[in-house]
Structure 1
């Protein structure tokens, strides 16, 4: 009977695998974006120290980058919350039954 179950569930298992791979790729892209913003911030600080930027220019560009970094973190938190909720729904509930 297990063979029949595996055959019947194969399309669903394949679809779940595809969704997991898409999620993993999206997560890697988000992580890369956060690293890019952090790198841009460190370059910005170096430009300030070398005198390439004024304090006003630095403050304006820093605000943009920090806002973008906050957005990335909020998306990550939202995705983590959604993943946690999905995992909780997948877990079987343990009910004590008196049969």
Structure 2
């Protein structure tokens, strides 16, 4: 599920002021993001170990290939962090709507 799909779904629910369902969608998205982040962090850790091993064997060409993949994975991890921050902000807005009602 992409961020755009989540955004469209939450906006559709938000327009109908179904705060409860929107919050559930945010929580589910945050949960999936945490799982993906943990999996990707493990993948990054494994790649770093592999790079160290290849450098010890003096196989710099393969180490470079792994390093390029590592850079991509670390960029994805940063995207997940931004997503988590945006979800937290959005949940805060939902709490305000829940407490004070919708604003125009």
TM-score range, shorter chain: 0.5 to 0.7
**CA offset digits 1:42-98 (Å, max 9, x no partner):** 12212321x1x522331232122122212222x1232123123213313439xxxxx
Cross-structure match for 1:6: none
Q: After TM superposition, which residue ranges in structure 1, 4 or more long, deviate above 6 angstroms?
A: none
TM-score by length of structure 2 reads 0.55
Cross-structure match for 1:62: 67
TM-score by length of structure 1 reads 0.57
Superposed CA RMSD in Å reads 2.8
**5+ long unaligned stretches in structure 2:** 1-17, 98-104
Task: Tell me the number of residue pairs that the alignment of Structure 1 and Structure 2 aligns.
Answer: 79
Cross-structure match for 1:40: 47
Return the index of the structure with the highest Cα Rg: 1
**5+ long unaligned stretches in structure 1:** 1-10, 94-99
Structure with the larger RCO, 1 or 2 (CA within 8 Å, 6+ apart): 2
Distance in 2 (alpha carbons) for counterparts of 1:23 and 1:81: 10
Q: Residues 80 and 21 of structure 1: is their aligned pair in 2 closer, same or farther, counting only changes over 3 Å?
A: closer
Q: Residues 89 and 18 of structure 1: is their aligned pair in 2 closer, same or farther, counting only changes over 3 Å?
A: closer
